A and B are shown apart, each in its own frame.
Chain A
């Protein structure tokens, strides 16, 4: 009798456990779908622009004809840069009549073999950064050319065009959502071993999108999670660190700030001739660990008595982001040394989070790998949204809006590349000056591309047709931008052309080819097509 009761109890316990497990899966599945649909669009935009932002430095060279055809030996090391000469010129150019509008002058190399120096000058009155390119051996200005499409895409990726710092927080929050979705996705897909091997791309039914969503999610899962985590850290760490530091330092805000960043001097508004920068670079090499190679210098409050400098540099074969030494320039006193390679373990862990997100290690090969993996990450929300759209009986305003959001940014990006190539060559051949308007032109073209996509999406009665048409437009525009650029460069045979130009052109042609090749694949779909009244007609 007792045995029978025990068996029944066991059975009942097992049933309860199974039911509880099933409820967990159901809850996660339900929330995964709704969270995915509600945030997928923004995650897609962040991932798509992130893939392009990986090559932001290369694209900024591509869209600047003077820099991309500059033929001279690579610049020497930081100790020999005539930095004061370049800073004085930048202050004269951007500092206003009194010259004290410049808050920060930041200068360095993005690539080790770079033939020029890039500088960013921050002006207080308009809170803007001004780009300049310099000959690092003579200190002469090459151009003040602004970046165009590379800047538009980077800012969209990092801040979603929202005001600072809220844009970073929002992007960081979506990084967290990507982490939750990736981790949740692997829990709800219990048959992941089988699903990982199933990809029915030629299937005429919805299996194609579903398979693509699952395989993209499974095969690159560690990458999705890593990008989500590092993205969340980059976006939110500013706030988190302040909170954590307040707790760790027992509420002593000054001690926390001094320990994290060093106590920076405040502007005194008393003029001072800027001391020579070179001794500070040499001093930083002595103060930091052996192997420290300075590559970026920052001067804060140039020409002020409380001016201070930061010498950023890296160590050989290091994964960490640039460490830095900070000095007050009037008395050459060190303010702070932050070493991400040799500091405390937590600092080292933080030091690798930025390179892991931006693939600033491993050269071009690593960037290409990240681009492939990043495209797979972007596929996740895109396929999720298409799955959701396919289930709809009719195309409402909301669905058209989502569809527009999904295709708007890729189409607008291709418009931006056309604008970039136009301003690049019209400036040279037509004698126009786009040095300060390149960003506005790229931005205008990007917005025009978004409006054009809206027109297609909101007027169309068929998602499939719109999708195919827009992919063909992307393909044509990218191919046009690359072809025009290649032809015009080839027409000036005597001129040297930077490899990054050919690389970017090849990237654009590859993008065009992919869009073109995707079009017939999409033609196989049986997406719902609505007529004027919104009723579904199956093709």
Chain B
């Protein structure tokens, strides 16, 4: 007996994955910038590299945590707001 996954389940899982990766990225950037600015890693060069090196780890951990949960709202407006905030944040940082 081959087990089939329904289309709606697949769609909601896809949304779940996309949101987990995006929110994970958002969290990782925020934590990375926070650590680059505040953490007592000595000189600015050290803070820059440590936070840069840690960023993929933050992203992985945050996304993995979110992938194991389902208790947050996932809909089109949530995704749109998240995407806009992320783009605005990165654009703002680059312009600065």
A243–B29 touching, CB < 8 Å: yes
B74 interfacial by beta-carbon distance below 8 Å: no
Please tell me if A464 contacts chain B, counting CB pairs below 8 Å.
no
Q: B56 contacts A176, CB within 8 Å?
A: yes
Asked, given contacts A180-B63, A243-B32, whether A35 binds B93 with beta carbons under 8 Å apart, the answer is no
Interface string of B59-71 (1 = CB under 8 A from A): 1100110011110
Whether A248 and B63, one on each chain, are in contact in the complex, defined by CB atoms closer than 8 angstroms, is no
Q: How many A-B residue pairs have CB under 8 A?
A: 133
- Give every chain B residue within 8 A of A393 (Cβ-Cβ): 2
**Chain B binding surface SS class:** helix
Q: Could you say which residues of chain B place their CB within 8 Å of the CB of A347?
A: 45-46, 49
Which of B17, B36, B48 is close to A35, meaning CB atoms less than 8 Å apart?
Answer: B17
Would B17 and A236 count as touching, CB distance under 8 A?
no
Given A27-B67, A391-B2, are A241 and B49 also a contact pair (CB < 8 Å)? yes
Interface membership of A223, Cβ < 8 A: no
CB of B48 within 8 A of CB of A248, answer yes
Q: Which residues of B contact A251 (CB under 8 A)?
A: 96
Q: Indicate which residue in A27, A248, A250, A349 contacts B70 across the interface (CB closer than 8 Å).
A: A27
Kindly state the separation between the CA atoms of A175 and B52 in the bound complex, as whole angstroms.
15
From A256, A344, A353, residue with most partner B Cβ within 10 Å: A344
Please tell me if the beta carbons of B2 and A344 are within 8 angstroms of each other in the complex: no
Q: Which B residues are in CB contact (< 8 Å) with A184? A: 64, 67
Q: Is the CB–CB distance between A243 and B53 below 8 Å? A: no
CB within 8 Å of B: which A368-402 residues: 391, 393
A205 at the A/B interface (Cβ < 8 Å)? no
Check B68–A344 contact: CB distance below 8 A. no
With A176-B60, A240-B52 already in contact, 17 other A-B pairs whose C-beta atoms are closer than 8 Å: A24-B68, A27-B67, A34-B10, A35-B17, A175-B56, A176-B59, A183-B64, A244-B47, A244-B55, A247-B51, A248-B37, A248-B48, A249-B48, A346-B45, A346-B49, A347-B45, A350-B49
27 examples of A-B residue contacts, CB within 8 angstroms: A28-B67, A34-B14, A34-B17, A176-B56, A176-B59, A180-B60, A180-B63, A184-B64, A233-B53, A233-B56, A240-B52, A241-B48, A243-B33, A243-B94, A245-B48, A246-B96, A248-B47, A253-B96, A260-B48, A344-B42, A344-B45, A344-B49, A346-B47, A346-B49, A347-B45, A350-B53, A393-B2
